[in-house]
Structure 1
Amino acid sequence: MLKYEWIYQSLLLQIQSGDLPAGAKLPSIRNLSQHYSCSKSTILAALKRLEDQHIIYARPKSGYYVVENQVFKTPSFTDSIDFATSSPTWHAFPYKDFQHCINKAIDTYQEELFRYGTPKGLPLLIAEAKKLLESYQVFTRSEQIFITSGVQQALSLLSIMPFPNNRSTILVEQPSYHLYLDMLKTYRLPAVGIQRTAKGIDLNRLEQIFHEEDIKFFYTMPRFHNPLGTSYSKKEKEAILQLAHKYNVFIIEDDYLADFEYNLKNDPLFAEDFHEQVIYLKSFSKIMFPGLRVGLAVLPQTIINTFQNFKMTADIDSSMISQAALYLYLKSGMFEHNKTNVSNIYHERAKILLQSLQNHLSMYDSSSEIVMHGHIVIPKQVNMKSFIHHLREQQIYLDSVERNYLDDFYHERILKLNVSNVDEHRIEEGIKKIASTLKKTENYFL
């Protein structure tokens, strides 16, 4: 081991052990040189390595200080099978590539970081986002694209702002995205539900609601629905658009898993919207990471000014560092490369999940699409809480869709199955255990 590497390891150990805590000043270069009996250049080489890893930083004419004494540790192996967690697989993301983009963004766009007044988003990112959206068959003008602090912010603003149809009630699929339902409950916004199952929705019921209720917009996930994992057919999407136009109802299309679509003919609702009634939302949470907090909203011309006014009061700007870094990540081609790698990983897991459901749980209603999350409907005689608890004792983690319903809507007995964080070789093992436990439980009641 070279001398500077040994010194680096020695200083790192002192920092990690807490002998040199965050904010602590390191001994001077001269003192370190004397302590380790080496040249100043050797000490500088060790310090540079610590600085490159963002463990220490230099203050001009003062010295070196500790940034943080905690460093990332690879999680230890666990024997559990987690079908409950829906966050993306952390180790699939090339974080060092994105770290380059963050550092470059800070270096290149220093001036922009000290400005207010870009409520629509960083213009460079909007231009790149326009190209990205076209790959999803979302063709729009730059002025219709807004960068938001995640899709969550866009949903919040759209829910509280007035719409041109002067209506107030929000229609949501049941079940639906639990955090959005939590927001509706928290702000006590008027909302009604329409049942969605693996077979889709009742279009006659949809028309009845559009006709009888004061519907402002219909919030929907046409493809890879959360939590069901199902998609609307082309015929269903066409019918929904026709009804929305007939009854002057806007549609919010949450296309959060567009990056994982393998069927090139499965276009979003937005692609067939000729009356500017579809608001298209795109998230980066699953293909990259939730902490990025960047979302895209494509708005009809009629609501742009209102949305911009409401957004200005919410945050003036979404994170400029995240926006600039994402712009570089898109422009450099890193995003497309990562998208291919991650979607291939998820696609393989999704195929195993579907095959496992068909092999071991075919007698239960379930999703039938190749997507990383699906569901099964549990028989009435099975106590859901006890069933989930029993499997947890076997280190199989499951979750119900209880939170994915409005309080006054009938709650189906559905289990979510997400393989985002389950290794390929363990998916079928977990499904087998679920099937075995279900069979034992049902036999108990026969």
Structure 2
Amino acid sequence: MLKYELIYNDLWHRIYNGDLYSGAKLPSIRQLSQQFSCSKSTTLTALQKLEDHHLIYAIPKSGYYVVDHQIPHKPTVSSIIDFATSSPTWHAFPYKDFQHCINKAIDTYQTDLFQYGTPKGLSSLITEAKKLLESYQVFTNNSNIFITSGVQQALSLLSLMPFPNKRKTILVEQPSYHLYMDFLKTYQLPAVGINRSIDGINLEELEQIFRTREIKFFYTMPRFHNPLGTSYSKKEKEAILHLANQYDVYIVEDDYMADFEYNSKRDPLFSIDLHNRVIYLKSFSKIMFPGLRIGLAILPNALINIFQQHKNTTDIDSSMISQAALELYLKSGMFERYRAQVHEIYHNRGKILQHALKTYLPMYPSSSEICMHSHIVFPKEVDLNRIIRYLSEKNILFNPIEQNYIDDFYHERILKINVSTIEDDKIEVGIKEIAYSLNNLNNYF
């Protein structure tokens, strides 16, 4: 082992053992050189490696100090089968690649970090986002693209700001995205629901609601609906757009799972909108990681100014570092390579899930989509909450469906299933345990 590696390893262990804690000053270069009987240049090589790994930092004319002594978390083997968590598998993400982009972004945009950002978002990111959107068949102009602090910010702004149709009531599919349901309840916004099931929505009911209620916009997830995992057919999407135009209703399309589409012929609502009715939202939370806090909102011309005004009052701009790092991640081709890789992983898990559902629970309705999340519909006589409690005792975790509904809307007995963080070989085990509990534990229920 080379001398500088000995110095590096010694200091590395002292840092992670806590002998050198966060903020602690390292021995001087002279002291280290004497301790290891080496030249100052050799010692500097070891210190440079520690600095490159973000373990220490230098203060001119003072010395080197420890950044952090905590050991990075590593994935551990667990006996828990977690069908509840919908976050992406964190250790599948190539953090080193993105770290390069963050470091490069700090170097490239160091001057901009000391200024307030642009109101719509980093212009170079918007340019790269436009190219990315085209891969989803979303064609628009740079002027229509806004960078937001996640899709949550876009949804909150759209819900609170006035619309050209001068209406206030929001129509939401039921069930739907639980955090948005929480938002509507927290702010006590006028909202009504329309049932969505494996068979889609009742278009006659949709028309009646559009005709008789003052609907501002209809919030929908046309593909890989959360939490059902279902998608609308082209005929349904065309009918929804026709009704929206006929009754002066806007549509907020949440396309958060666009990166996992396996059907090349299935395009978003936005792509067939001829009357500028669709507001398209895209998140990076599922394909990358939620902590990035970057979302895309594509707005019709009629909404740009009012959206901009309301966005300015919530934050001047989304995180500049996150935006700059994402721009480089897209431009360098890293995102495209990672998307292809993770798409294959999740698509395979979706196929395993569908096979398990058809094998062990064929008598209960469920989505046939190959997606990382799905659901099972149980009859009224099944006490779903007791099933969830029983399975939790077996270390099989589920979230209740109640949080996915607005108040006073009828709740189907739906068991939400998400396999984004479950190892392939555990998916079938978990589904089999559900079947066992239903078929053999009647005394328990």
TM over 0.5: yes
Q: Does the 8 A contact of 1:357 with 1:431 survive in 2?
A: yes
Partner-residue secondary structure (3-state), 1:113: helix
Q: What amino acid sits opposite 1:264 in the alignment?
A: S
The aligned residue for residue 26 of structure 1 is 26
Partner-residue secondary structure (3-state), 2:106: helix
Partner-residue secondary structure (3-state), 2:368: coil
Determine whether 1:284 maps to 2:284.
Answer: yes
Q: CA RMSD in A?
A: 1.2
Determine whether 1:368 maps to 2:363.
Answer: no
The aligned residue for residue 396 of structure 2 is 396
Q: How many residues align structurally?
A: 445
Q: What amino acid sits opposite 1:133 in the alignment?
A: L
The aligned residue for residue 248 of structure 2 is 248
User: How big is each residue's C-alpha offset from its partner over 1:289-329, in whole Å with a ceiling of 9 and x where there is no partner?
Assistant: 11111100000000100000111111101111111111111
The aligned residue for residue 131 of structure 1 is 131
Alignment partners' CA distance in 1, 2:140 and 2:38: 63
123-132 or 71-80, which deviates more: 71-80
Alignment partners' CA distance in 2, 1:5 and 1:110: 32
Q: Does the 8 A contact of 1:329 with 1:335 survive in 2?
A: yes
In the TM superposition, residue 117 of structure 1 has moved relative to its aligned partner by 4.4
Partner-residue secondary structure (3-state), 2:297: strand
Alignment of 1:57-136 (within 5 A): 57-136=57-136
Q: What amino acid sits opposite 2:146 in the alignment?
A: F
In the TM superposition, residue 66 of structure 1 has moved relative to its aligned partner by 0.8
Determine whether 1:165 maps to 2:159.
Answer: no
Partner-residue secondary structure (3-state), 1:110: coil
The aligned residue for residue 235 of structure 2 is 235
Q: Does the 8 A contact of 1:176 with 1:227 survive in 2?
A: yes
Q: What amino acid sits opposite 1:144 in the alignment?
A: N
380-389 or 332-341, which deviates more: 380-389
The aligned residue for residue 405 of structure 1 is 405
Q: Does the 8 A contact of 1:82 with 1:419 survive in 2?
A: yes
Q: Does the 8 A contact of 1:381 with 1:442 survive in 2?
A: no
In the TM superposition, residue 383 of structure 1 has moved relative to its aligned partner by 2.4
Alignment partners' CA distance in 2, 1:25 and 1:203: 68
Alignment partners' CA distance in 2, 1:49 and 1:134: 41
Structure 2: which 5+ residue stretches go unaligned?
A: none
Partner-residue secondary structure (3-state), 2:159: helix
Structure 1: which 5+ residue stretches go unaligned?
A: none
49-58 or 107-116, which deviates more: 107-116
The verdict on how the C-alpha distance between 1:26 and 1:420 changes in structure 2, with shifts beyond 3 A counting, is: same
Determine whether 1:306 maps to 2:270.
Answer: no
Q: Does the 8 A contact of 1:84 with 1:398 survive in 2?
A: yes
Alignment partners' CA distance in 1, 2:358 and 2:75: 32
In the TM superposition, residue 50 of structure 1 has moved relative to its aligned partner by 1.2
Q: Does the 8 A contact of 1:283 with 1:295 survive in 2?
A: yes
Q: Does the 8 A contact of 2:117 with 2:320 survive in 1?
A: no
Alignment of 1:163-202 (within 5 A): 163-202=163-202
Q: What amino acid sits opposite 1:415 in the alignment?
A: L
Q: Does the 8 A contact of 2:219 with 2:254 survive in 1?
A: yes
The aligned residue for residue 342 of structure 1 is 342
In the TM superposition, residue 41 of structure 1 has moved relative to its aligned partner by 2.2
Alignment partners' CA distance in 2, 1:55 and 1:180: 39
The aligned residue for residue 224 of structure 1 is 224
In the TM superposition, residue 444 of structure 1 has moved relative to its aligned partner by 6.5
The aligned residue for residue 42 of structure 1 is 42
Alignment partners' CA distance in 2, 1:59 and 1:199: 64
Give the 4+ runs in structure 1 shifted more than 4 A.
Answer: 442-445
Q: What amino acid sits opposite 1:257 in the alignment?
A: M
Q: Does the 8 A contact of 1:147 with 1:318 survive in 2?
A: yes
Partner-residue secondary structure (3-state), 1:219: strand
Q: What amino acid sits opposite 1:303 in the alignment?
A: L
The aligned residue for residue 355 of structure 1 is 355
17-26 or 314-323, which deviates more: 17-26
The aligned residue for residue 432 of structure 2 is 432
Alignment partners' CA distance in 1, 2:104 and 2:75: 29
Q: Does the 8 A contact of 1:151 with 1:281 survive in 2?
A: yes
In the TM superposition, residue 435 of structure 1 has moved relative to its aligned partner by 0.7
In the TM superposition, residue 442 of structure 1 has moved relative to its aligned partner by 4.5
Partner-residue secondary structure (3-state), 2:64: strand
In the TM superposition, residue 35 of structure 1 has moved relative to its aligned partner by 2.5
Alignment partners' CA distance in 2, 1:134 and 1:75: 35
Alignment partners' CA distance in 1, 2:104 and 2:179: 34
Identity of aligned residues (%): 69
Q: Normalized against structure 2, the TM-score is what?
A: 0.98
The verdict on how the C-alpha distance between 1:37 and 1:444 changes in structure 2, with shifts beyond 3 A counting, is: closer
In the TM superposition, residue 393 of structure 1 has moved relative to its aligned partner by 1.7
In the TM superposition, residue 194 of structure 1 has moved relative to its aligned partner by 0.6
Alignment partners' CA distance in 2, 1:117 and 1:103: 19
Q: What amino acid sits opposite 1:259 in the alignment?
A: D
Q: Does the 8 A contact of 1:229 with 1:371 survive in 2?
A: yes
Q: What amino acid sits opposite 2:334 in the alignment?
A: M
Partner-residue secondary structure (3-state), 2:170: strand
395-404 or 364-373, which deviates more: 395-404
In the TM superposition, residue 391 of structure 1 has moved relative to its aligned partner by 1.2
Q: Does the 8 A contact of 1:400 with 1:416 survive in 2?
A: yes
In the TM superposition, residue 227 of structure 1 has moved relative to its aligned partner by 0.3
User: How big is each residue's C-alpha offset from its partner over 1:33-61, in whole Å with a ceiling of 9 and x where there is no partner?
Assistant: 22333322222122112111101001111
In the TM superposition, residue 402 of structure 1 has moved relative to its aligned partner by 1.3
7-16 or 246-255, which deviates more: 7-16
Partner-residue secondary structure (3-state), 2:335: helix
Partner-residue secondary structure (3-state), 2:271: helix
The verdict on how the C-alpha distance between 1:379 and 1:128 changes in structure 2, with shifts beyond 3 A counting, is: same
Alignment partners' CA distance in 2, 1:117 and 1:50: 33
User: How big is each residue's C-alpha offset from its partner over 1:365-403, in whole Å with a ceiling of 9 and x where there is no partner?
Assistant: 111110010000123333222211211222211222110
Q: What amino acid sits opposite 1:382 in the alignment?
A: V
Partner-residue secondary structure (3-state), 1:222: coil
Q: Does the 8 A contact of 2:75 with 2:91 survive in 1?
A: no
Q: What amino acid sits opposite 1:433 in the alignment?
A: E
260-269 or 378-387, which deviates more: 378-387
Q: What amino acid sits opposite 2:166 in the alignment?
A: N
